[in-house]
Structure 1
Amino acid sequence: MTDPIRKALVVRGGWEGHSPVEITDLFLPFLKDQGFTVETAQTLDVYADAELLAATDLIVQCWTMGEITAEQSRGLADAVRAGTGFAGWHGGVIDSFRGDLDYQRLTGGQFLMHPPGFVDYTVDVAPGGHGITAGLADFAVHTEHYWVATDPANEVLATSVFPAGGDRARDVVMPQVWTRTWGAGRVFVSAIGHKADDFDVPEVRAITERGLLWASR
Protein backbone atom coordinates (compact mmCIF):
# COMPACT_ATOMS: atom_id res chain seq x y z
CA MET A 1 0.00 0.00 0.00
CA THR A 2 1.37 3.45 -0.89
CA ASP A 3 1.11 6.36 1.48
CA PRO A 4 -1.80 8.72 0.82
CA ILE A 5 -0.86 11.87 -1.05
CA ARG A 6 -0.68 14.96 1.12
CA LYS A 7 -1.68 18.41 -0.05
CA ALA A 8 0.30 21.61 0.49
CA LEU A 9 -1.02 25.11 -0.11
CA VAL A 10 1.61 27.84 -0.58
CA VAL A 11 0.15 31.30 0.08
CA ARG A 12 2.47 34.07 -1.09
CA GLY A 13 2.25 37.80 -1.62
CA GLY A 14 2.35 41.06 0.29
CA TRP A 15 5.50 43.20 0.36
CA GLU A 16 7.79 42.20 -2.49
CA GLY A 17 10.99 42.91 -0.55
CA HIS A 18 10.87 39.37 0.82
CA SER A 19 10.64 37.84 -2.68
CA PRO A 20 7.63 35.66 -1.84
CA VAL A 21 7.47 33.89 -5.19
CA GLU A 22 11.21 33.41 -5.68
CA ILE A 23 11.82 32.05 -2.20
CA THR A 24 8.76 29.81 -1.92
CA ASP A 25 9.72 28.39 -5.32
CA LEU A 26 12.87 27.06 -3.64
CA PHE A 27 10.73 24.65 -1.65
CA LEU A 28 8.18 23.49 -4.20
CA PRO A 29 10.40 20.69 -5.61
CA PHE A 30 11.18 19.52 -2.08
CA LEU A 31 7.50 19.31 -1.15
CA LYS A 32 6.69 17.43 -4.34
CA ASP A 33 9.57 15.02 -3.69
CA GLN A 34 8.10 14.40 -0.24
CA GLY A 35 4.81 13.29 -1.76
CA PHE A 36 2.78 16.49 -1.60
CA THR A 37 0.60 17.86 -4.32
CA VAL A 38 1.26 21.60 -4.26
CA GLU A 39 -1.12 24.45 -4.99
CA THR A 40 -0.02 28.08 -4.91
CA ALA A 41 -2.22 31.08 -4.17
CA GLN A 42 -1.51 34.79 -4.40
CA THR A 43 -4.68 35.86 -2.66
CA LEU A 44 -5.75 35.56 0.98
CA ASP A 45 -9.24 34.59 -0.16
CA VAL A 46 -8.15 30.95 0.15
CA TYR A 47 -8.27 31.37 3.92
CA ALA A 48 -12.03 31.85 3.70
CA ASP A 49 -12.45 28.57 1.77
CA ALA A 50 -13.16 26.10 4.57
CA GLU A 51 -13.49 23.12 2.23
CA LEU A 52 -10.11 23.80 0.61
CA LEU A 53 -8.32 24.25 3.93
CA ALA A 54 -9.91 21.13 5.45
CA ALA A 55 -8.41 19.14 2.56
CA THR A 56 -4.99 20.77 3.03
CA ASP A 57 -2.33 19.12 5.18
CA LEU A 58 0.16 22.00 5.18
CA ILE A 59 -0.11 25.73 4.59
CA VAL A 60 3.20 27.45 3.81
CA GLN A 61 2.80 31.21 4.04
CA CYS A 62 5.12 33.94 2.75
CA TRP A 63 3.03 37.11 3.00
CA THR A 64 4.70 40.14 4.54
CA MET A 65 2.60 42.94 6.04
CA GLY A 66 -0.72 43.52 4.31
CA GLU A 67 -4.17 43.17 5.81
CA ILE A 68 -6.30 40.13 6.44
CA THR A 69 -10.06 40.22 6.90
CA ALA A 70 -11.73 38.86 10.01
CA GLU A 71 -13.26 36.06 7.91
CA GLN A 72 -9.88 35.09 6.41
CA SER A 73 -8.11 35.19 9.77
CA ARG A 74 -10.80 33.11 11.43
CA GLY A 75 -10.78 30.60 8.56
CA LEU A 76 -7.02 30.12 8.85
CA ALA A 77 -7.10 29.73 12.63
CA ASP A 78 -10.02 27.30 12.48
CA ALA A 79 -8.28 25.16 9.87
CA VAL A 80 -5.10 24.92 11.92
CA ARG A 81 -7.10 24.18 15.06
CA ALA A 82 -8.70 21.29 13.17
CA GLY A 83 -5.32 19.84 12.15
CA THR A 84 -3.99 21.67 9.08
CA GLY A 85 -0.30 22.48 9.57
CA PHE A 86 0.98 26.05 9.26
CA ALA A 87 4.59 27.02 8.57
CA GLY A 88 6.73 29.88 7.34
CA TRP A 89 9.82 31.97 7.81
CA HIS A 90 10.93 35.52 8.48
CA GLY A 91 8.60 38.40 7.67
CA GLY A 92 6.42 36.17 5.54
CA VAL A 93 4.95 34.68 8.70
CA ILE A 94 5.83 36.94 11.66
CA ASP A 95 5.57 40.35 10.00
CA SER A 96 2.16 39.61 8.51
CA PHE A 97 -1.13 41.38 9.26
CA ARG A 98 0.30 43.55 12.04
CA GLY A 99 -3.10 44.67 13.27
CA ASP A 100 -4.50 41.16 13.78
CA LEU A 101 -3.83 39.97 17.33
CA ASP A 102 -5.57 36.64 16.72
CA TYR A 103 -3.14 35.91 13.90
CA GLN A 104 -0.22 36.72 16.21
CA ARG A 105 -1.61 34.30 18.78
CA LEU A 106 -1.61 31.62 16.09
CA THR A 107 2.02 32.17 15.09
CA GLY A 108 3.29 32.72 18.62
CA GLY A 109 5.45 35.67 17.64
CA GLN A 110 5.69 39.07 16.01
CA PHE A 111 8.61 40.90 14.42
CA LEU A 112 9.40 44.18 16.16
CA MET A 113 12.69 45.43 14.68
CA HIS A 114 16.08 44.52 13.25
CA PRO A 115 19.41 46.37 13.20
CA PRO A 116 20.10 48.17 9.91
CA GLY A 117 21.10 46.01 6.99
CA PHE A 118 22.54 42.51 7.11
CA VAL A 119 24.69 41.47 10.07
CA ASP A 120 26.72 38.45 11.10
CA TYR A 121 25.36 36.46 14.01
CA THR A 122 25.36 32.93 15.36
CA VAL A 123 22.25 30.79 15.62
CA ASP A 124 22.48 28.63 18.73
CA VAL A 125 20.69 25.29 18.44
CA ALA A 126 18.85 24.38 21.63
CA PRO A 127 19.68 21.07 23.28
CA GLY A 128 16.99 18.44 23.54
CA GLY A 129 17.11 16.55 20.26
CA HIS A 130 13.98 17.83 18.53
CA GLY A 131 13.67 16.19 15.12
CA ILE A 132 13.84 19.54 13.33
CA THR A 133 17.29 20.31 14.68
CA ALA A 134 18.61 16.80 15.37
CA GLY A 135 22.29 16.46 14.51
CA LEU A 136 22.77 20.17 13.82
CA ALA A 137 25.35 22.33 15.57
CA ASP A 138 25.34 26.10 16.05
CA PHE A 139 25.86 27.97 12.78
CA ALA A 140 26.62 31.43 11.41
CA VAL A 141 24.43 33.55 9.14
CA HIS A 142 24.73 36.95 7.46
CA THR A 143 21.26 38.41 7.13
CA GLU A 144 18.68 40.48 8.98
CA HIS A 145 18.64 39.80 12.71
CA TYR A 146 15.07 39.76 13.96
CA TRP A 147 14.07 41.04 17.37
CA VAL A 148 10.73 39.40 18.11
CA ALA A 149 8.01 39.31 20.75
CA THR A 150 7.13 35.66 21.40
CA ASP A 151 4.71 33.50 23.35
CA PRO A 152 6.34 31.78 26.37
CA ALA A 153 4.37 28.65 25.41
CA ASN A 154 6.47 28.18 22.25
CA GLU A 155 8.97 25.35 22.08
CA VAL A 156 12.13 27.25 21.16
CA LEU A 157 14.51 25.25 18.96
CA ALA A 158 17.15 27.90 18.24
CA THR A 159 18.15 31.29 19.59
CA SER A 160 20.61 34.11 18.94
CA VAL A 161 22.16 36.81 21.09
CA PHE A 162 21.72 40.55 20.77
CA PRO A 163 24.83 41.87 22.55
CA ALA A 164 24.69 44.56 25.20
CA GLY A 165 25.07 48.10 23.92
CA GLY A 166 23.00 51.14 23.16
CA ASP A 167 19.68 50.75 24.93
CA ARG A 168 20.56 47.20 26.10
CA ALA A 169 22.29 46.92 29.44
CA ARG A 170 22.97 43.21 28.95
CA ASP A 171 23.03 40.52 26.30
CA VAL A 172 19.56 39.40 25.24
CA VAL A 173 18.84 35.85 24.09
CA MET A 174 16.26 35.97 21.30
CA PRO A 175 14.20 33.04 19.90
CA GLN A 176 14.86 32.45 16.19
CA VAL A 177 13.15 29.12 15.50
CA TRP A 178 10.17 27.68 17.34
CA THR A 179 7.23 25.32 17.15
CA ARG A 180 3.85 25.36 18.83
CA THR A 181 0.50 23.65 18.63
CA TRP A 182 -2.86 25.26 17.94
CA GLY A 183 -5.60 22.81 18.77
CA ALA A 184 -4.88 19.73 16.67
CA GLY A 185 -2.59 21.68 14.32
CA ARG A 186 1.16 22.26 14.39
CA VAL A 187 2.87 25.58 13.71
CA PHE A 188 6.53 26.01 12.66
CA VAL A 189 8.23 29.41 12.53
CA SER A 190 11.78 30.45 11.61
CA ALA A 191 12.88 34.08 11.80
CA ILE A 192 15.63 33.43 9.23
CA GLY A 193 15.06 33.88 5.52
CA HIS A 194 15.04 37.47 4.30
CA LYS A 195 16.80 36.60 1.04
CA ALA A 196 17.11 33.56 -1.14
CA ASP A 197 20.77 32.90 -0.38
CA ASP A 198 20.00 32.62 3.34
CA PHE A 199 18.81 29.13 2.40
CA ASP A 200 22.21 28.31 0.91
CA VAL A 201 23.35 27.85 4.52
CA PRO A 202 22.86 24.08 4.93
CA GLU A 203 21.49 24.36 8.46
CA VAL A 204 18.94 27.00 7.46
CA ARG A 205 17.75 24.86 4.58
CA ALA A 206 17.59 21.72 6.73
CA ILE A 207 15.69 23.41 9.56
CA THR A 208 13.19 24.92 7.13
CA GLU A 209 12.58 21.69 5.23
CA ARG A 210 12.27 19.65 8.40
CA GLY A 211 9.97 22.30 9.88
CA LEU A 212 7.62 22.09 6.92
CA LEU A 213 7.38 18.32 7.28
CA TRP A 214 6.95 18.51 11.05
CA ALA A 215 4.07 20.97 10.76
CA SER A 216 2.17 18.96 8.16
CA ARG A 217 -0.85 16.95 9.24
Structure 2
Amino acid sequence: MSNRRALVVRGGWPGHDPVGSTDLFLPVLADAGFDVTVEDSLEVYADEAVMAGTDLIVQSWTMGDILADEMHGLRVAVENGTGLAGWHGGLLDAFRNATDYQHIVGGQFVAHPGDLVDHEIHVRPERTDHPIVEGIGPRIRMTTEQYWLHTDPLCDVLATTTHDVGPDSPWREPTTVPVAWTRRWGRGKVFACTVGHSVEDLQVPEIHTIVSRGLVWAAREPDTV
Protein backbone atom coordinates (compact mmCIF):
# COMPACT_ATOMS: atom_id res chain seq x y z
CA MET A 1 0.00 0.00 0.00
CA SER A 2 1.43 3.39 -1.00
CA ASN A 3 1.82 6.20 1.49
CA ARG A 4 -0.70 8.99 1.65
CA ARG A 5 0.40 12.28 0.09
CA ALA A 6 0.76 15.58 1.94
CA LEU A 7 1.18 18.90 0.19
CA VAL A 8 2.78 21.75 2.15
CA VAL A 9 2.02 25.13 0.60
CA ARG A 10 3.98 27.99 2.16
CA GLY A 11 4.68 31.63 1.41
CA GLY A 12 2.94 34.98 1.63
CA TRP A 13 3.91 37.50 4.30
CA PRO A 14 7.29 36.36 5.72
CA GLY A 15 6.70 37.55 9.29
CA HIS A 16 5.23 34.21 10.34
CA ASP A 17 8.27 32.29 9.07
CA PRO A 18 6.36 29.97 6.73
CA VAL A 19 9.50 27.97 5.95
CA GLY A 20 10.73 27.52 9.51
CA SER A 21 7.30 26.77 10.92
CA THR A 22 6.37 24.19 8.32
CA ASP A 23 9.83 22.59 8.47
CA LEU A 24 9.04 21.86 12.11
CA PHE A 25 6.24 19.50 11.05
CA LEU A 26 7.82 17.80 8.05
CA PRO A 27 9.22 15.01 10.28
CA VAL A 28 5.79 14.63 11.90
CA LEU A 29 4.23 14.04 8.51
CA ALA A 30 6.97 11.64 7.45
CA ASP A 31 6.64 9.67 10.68
CA ALA A 32 2.89 9.45 10.09
CA GLY A 33 3.53 7.80 6.73
CA PHE A 34 3.04 10.69 4.32
CA ASP A 35 5.01 11.35 1.18
CA VAL A 36 5.50 15.12 1.42
CA THR A 37 5.74 17.67 -1.37
CA VAL A 38 6.56 21.31 -0.57
CA GLU A 39 5.39 24.14 -2.84
CA ASP A 40 6.15 27.86 -2.58
CA SER A 41 3.41 28.91 -4.99
CA LEU A 42 -0.39 28.78 -4.91
CA GLU A 43 -0.41 27.66 -8.55
CA VAL A 44 -0.47 24.03 -7.42
CA TYR A 45 -4.04 24.51 -6.22
CA ALA A 46 -5.11 24.88 -9.85
CA ASP A 47 -3.46 21.58 -10.87
CA GLU A 48 -6.39 19.19 -10.90
CA ALA A 49 -4.31 16.02 -11.12
CA VAL A 50 -2.03 16.96 -8.22
CA MET A 51 -4.92 18.02 -6.02
CA ALA A 52 -6.91 14.87 -6.73
CA GLY A 53 -3.98 12.79 -5.54
CA THR A 54 -3.37 14.81 -2.37
CA ASP A 55 -4.64 13.52 0.96
CA LEU A 56 -3.65 16.51 3.11
CA ILE A 57 -2.87 20.17 2.47
CA VAL A 58 -0.85 21.97 5.13
CA GLN A 59 -1.04 25.66 4.34
CA SER A 60 1.13 28.45 5.75
CA TRP A 61 0.36 31.48 3.58
CA THR A 62 -0.38 34.68 5.49
CA MET A 63 -2.36 37.36 3.63
CA GLY A 64 -1.82 37.56 -0.13
CA ASP A 65 -4.35 36.89 -2.87
CA ILE A 66 -5.60 33.70 -4.42
CA LEU A 67 -6.63 33.51 -8.06
CA ALA A 68 -10.04 32.21 -9.08
CA ASP A 69 -8.71 28.98 -10.60
CA GLU A 70 -6.56 28.33 -7.54
CA MET A 71 -9.50 28.88 -5.21
CA HIS A 72 -11.68 26.64 -7.33
CA GLY A 73 -9.09 23.87 -7.23
CA LEU A 74 -8.69 24.13 -3.47
CA ARG A 75 -12.42 24.10 -2.87
CA VAL A 76 -13.02 21.10 -5.13
CA ALA A 77 -10.17 19.15 -3.54
CA VAL A 78 -11.47 19.67 0.00
CA GLU A 79 -15.04 18.88 -0.98
CA ASN A 80 -13.78 15.65 -2.57
CA GLY A 81 -11.94 14.54 0.57
CA THR A 82 -8.55 16.27 0.73
CA GLY A 83 -7.82 17.51 4.25
CA LEU A 84 -6.88 21.13 4.95
CA ALA A 85 -4.92 22.11 8.05
CA GLY A 86 -2.78 24.88 9.43
CA TRP A 87 -2.17 27.39 12.15
CA HIS A 88 -2.17 31.09 12.95
CA GLY A 89 -2.11 33.56 10.06
CA GLY A 90 -0.94 30.93 7.59
CA LEU A 91 -4.44 29.47 7.57
CA LEU A 92 -6.57 32.03 9.40
CA ASP A 93 -5.33 35.28 7.86
CA ALA A 94 -4.89 34.11 4.29
CA PHE A 95 -6.63 35.69 1.30
CA ARG A 96 -8.58 38.32 3.24
CA ASN A 97 -10.80 39.12 0.27
CA ALA A 98 -11.71 35.49 -0.49
CA THR A 99 -14.86 34.91 1.51
CA ASP A 100 -15.34 31.51 -0.13
CA TYR A 101 -11.99 30.49 1.39
CA GLN A 102 -13.14 31.69 4.82
CA HIS A 103 -16.33 29.69 4.31
CA ILE A 104 -14.28 26.49 4.07
CA VAL A 105 -11.94 27.23 6.99
CA GLY A 106 -14.65 28.53 9.30
CA GLY A 107 -12.78 31.45 10.79
CA GLN A 108 -10.94 34.66 9.99
CA PHE A 109 -8.43 36.64 12.06
CA VAL A 110 -9.57 40.18 12.85
CA ALA A 111 -7.25 41.34 15.69
CA HIS A 112 -4.70 40.43 18.35
CA PRO A 113 -5.34 43.08 21.02
CA GLY A 114 -2.25 44.00 23.01
CA ASP A 115 0.08 42.24 20.56
CA LEU A 116 2.17 39.77 22.63
CA VAL A 117 0.18 39.10 25.79
CA ASP A 118 0.19 36.59 28.62
CA HIS A 119 -2.97 34.51 28.42
CA GLU A 120 -4.44 31.07 28.98
CA ILE A 121 -5.79 28.54 26.53
CA HIS A 122 -8.49 26.22 27.87
CA VAL A 123 -9.29 22.80 26.49
CA ARG A 124 -13.07 22.55 26.52
CA PRO A 125 -14.08 20.03 29.22
CA GLU A 126 -16.68 18.39 26.97
CA ARG A 127 -14.09 17.78 24.21
CA THR A 128 -11.24 16.30 26.28
CA ASP A 129 -11.90 12.91 24.69
CA HIS A 130 -11.18 14.21 21.19
CA PRO A 131 -7.97 12.60 19.88
CA ILE A 132 -6.41 15.98 19.06
CA VAL A 133 -6.55 17.29 22.65
CA GLU A 134 -6.84 14.11 24.68
CA GLY A 135 -4.51 14.24 27.71
CA ILE A 136 -3.66 17.95 27.19
CA GLY A 137 -4.52 20.81 29.49
CA PRO A 138 -6.90 21.76 30.91
CA ARG A 139 -4.89 25.01 30.69
CA ILE A 140 -1.97 26.09 28.55
CA ARG A 141 -0.17 29.31 29.44
CA MET A 142 1.22 31.35 26.54
CA THR A 143 2.82 34.74 25.98
CA THR A 144 2.21 35.50 22.34
CA GLU A 145 -0.45 36.90 20.05
CA GLN A 146 -3.94 36.14 21.31
CA TYR A 147 -6.07 35.96 18.19
CA TRP A 148 -9.56 37.41 18.05
CA LEU A 149 -11.49 35.61 15.32
CA HIS A 150 -14.80 35.66 13.55
CA THR A 151 -15.92 32.04 13.37
CA ASP A 152 -19.07 30.17 12.44
CA PRO A 153 -21.23 27.61 14.28
CA LEU A 154 -20.06 24.65 12.18
CA CYS A 155 -16.70 24.62 13.97
CA ASP A 156 -16.23 21.85 16.53
CA VAL A 157 -14.27 23.93 19.02
CA LEU A 158 -11.67 21.99 21.03
CA ALA A 159 -9.97 24.85 22.89
CA THR A 160 -10.69 28.50 23.62
CA THR A 161 -9.16 31.66 25.05
CA THR A 162 -10.82 34.66 26.68
CA HIS A 163 -10.04 38.29 25.93
CA ASP A 164 -10.37 40.15 29.22
CA VAL A 165 -11.62 43.70 29.49
CA GLY A 166 -8.92 46.32 30.04
CA PRO A 167 -9.27 50.01 30.83
CA ASP A 168 -8.97 50.93 27.15
CA SER A 169 -10.87 47.97 25.67
CA PRO A 170 -13.72 48.89 23.35
CA TRP A 171 -15.49 45.62 24.25
CA ARG A 172 -17.31 45.75 27.57
CA GLU A 173 -17.29 42.13 28.77
CA PRO A 174 -14.85 39.19 28.62
CA THR A 175 -15.03 37.56 25.19
CA THR A 176 -14.22 33.91 24.55
CA VAL A 177 -13.06 32.85 21.10
CA PRO A 178 -11.87 29.55 19.61
CA VAL A 179 -8.19 28.54 19.59
CA ALA A 180 -8.42 25.09 17.97
CA TRP A 181 -11.23 23.49 16.01
CA THR A 182 -12.16 20.92 13.43
CA ARG A 183 -14.90 20.86 10.84
CA ARG A 184 -16.17 18.76 7.97
CA TRP A 185 -16.49 20.27 4.53
CA GLY A 186 -17.96 18.03 1.88
CA ARG A 187 -15.96 14.81 2.15
CA GLY A 188 -12.94 16.70 3.53
CA LYS A 189 -11.85 17.66 7.02
CA VAL A 190 -10.38 20.91 8.28
CA PHE A 191 -8.18 21.55 11.32
CA ALA A 192 -7.23 25.03 12.52
CA CYS A 193 -5.16 26.36 15.44
CA THR A 194 -4.72 30.06 16.17
CA VAL A 195 -1.36 29.65 17.96
CA GLY A 196 1.81 29.80 15.88
CA HIS A 197 3.08 33.36 15.57
CA SER A 198 6.64 32.02 15.84
CA VAL A 199 8.47 28.73 15.61
CA GLU A 200 9.00 29.00 19.38
CA ASP A 201 5.23 29.04 19.92
CA LEU A 202 4.88 25.88 17.87
CA GLN A 203 7.63 24.20 19.91
CA VAL A 204 5.65 24.52 23.15
CA PRO A 205 4.98 20.82 23.86
CA GLU A 206 1.21 21.08 24.18
CA ILE A 207 0.89 23.21 21.04
CA HIS A 208 3.23 20.99 19.05
CA THR A 209 1.17 17.97 20.05
CA ILE A 210 -2.16 19.60 19.19
CA VAL A 211 -0.95 20.74 15.77
CA SER A 212 0.76 17.43 14.99
CA ARG A 213 -2.37 15.48 15.86
CA GLY A 214 -4.53 17.97 13.99
CA LEU A 215 -2.59 17.59 10.77
CA VAL A 216 -2.90 13.81 10.83
CA TRP A 217 -6.58 13.98 11.83
CA ALA A 218 -7.45 16.21 8.89
CA ALA A 219 -5.96 13.93 6.25
CA ARG A 220 -8.20 12.04 3.89
CA GLU A 221 -9.58 8.89 5.41
CA PRO A 222 -8.65 5.76 3.43
CA ASP A 223 -12.26 4.85 2.72
CA THR A 224 -12.93 8.23 1.07
CA VAL A 225 -10.37 7.73 -1.70
TM-score, with structure 1 as normaliser: 0.97
1:51 aligned to which of 49, 55, 62: 49
TM-superposed deviation, 1:29: 1.1
- Partner Cα separation in structure 2 for residue 209 and residue 47 of structure 1: 23
Partner residue of 1:214 out of 212, 217, 222: 217
After the TM superposition, which parts of structure 1 deviate over 4 Å for at least 4 consecutive aligned residues?
none
Q: Tell me how far 1:85 sits from its aligned partner.
A: 0.4
Q: Which residue of 2 aligns with 1:174?
A: 177
CA distance in 2, matches of 1:7, 1:154: 25
Return 189-198 or 109-118, whichever deviates more: 109-118
Partner of 1:131: 131
| Aligned with 1:107 (options 105, 108, 111) | 105
User: Are positions 1:200 and 2:197 aligned together?
Assistant: no
The Cα shift of 1:176 comes to: 0.8
- Deviations, residues 116-153 of structure 1 (Å, cap 9, x unaligned): 33111100001221110011111111111100000111
Alignment of 1:14-163 (within 5 A): 14-127=12-125, 128=127, 129-137=129-137, 138-163=139-164
Total equivalences in the alignment:
215
Structure 1 distance, partners of 2:61, 2:26, is 16
Aligned mates of 1:5, 1:76 — CA distance in 2: 21
The Cα offsets for residues 12-50 of structure 1, whole Å up to 9 and x where unpaired, read as 000000000011000001111111110000000000011
Q: For 1:40 and 1:90, how far apart are their aligned partners in 2?
A: 19
Q: Secondary structure at the match of 1:178?
A: strand
User: Which stretch shows the higher mean deviation, 39-48 or 160-169?
Assistant: 160-169
SS at match of 2:74: helix
SS state at 2:131 partner: coil
- Percent identity between the two aligned chains: 50
Between the aligned partners of 2:177 and 2:155, the Cα distance in structure 1 is: 13
Q: Secondary structure at the match of 1:156?
A: strand
Distance 2:115 2:107 in 1: 22
Report the more deviating stretch, 180-189 or 166-175.
Answer: 166-175
Q: Give the residue type in structure 2 aligned to 1:153.
A: L
2:223 is matched with none
Q: Structure 1: state its 5+ residue gaps.
A: none
Separation in structure 2 between the aligned mates of residue 30 and residue 210 of structure 1, nearest angstrom: 9
CA RMSD after TM alignment: 0.9
Instruction: State the distance in 2 between where 1:116 and 1:37 align.
Output: 40
Letter in 2 for 1:172: T
CA distance in 2, matches of 1:123, 1:135: 14
Q: What is the identity, as a one-letter code, of the residue corresponding to 2:130?
A: H
Query: Structure 1, residues 153-195: CA drift from partner, whole Å, max 9, x if none?
Result: 1000000010123212111111111110110000000000000
In 1, the alpha carbon distance for the partners of 2:6 and 2:34 equals 6
Q: Secondary structure at the match of 2:146?
A: coil
CA distance in 1, matches of 2:114, 2:52: 41
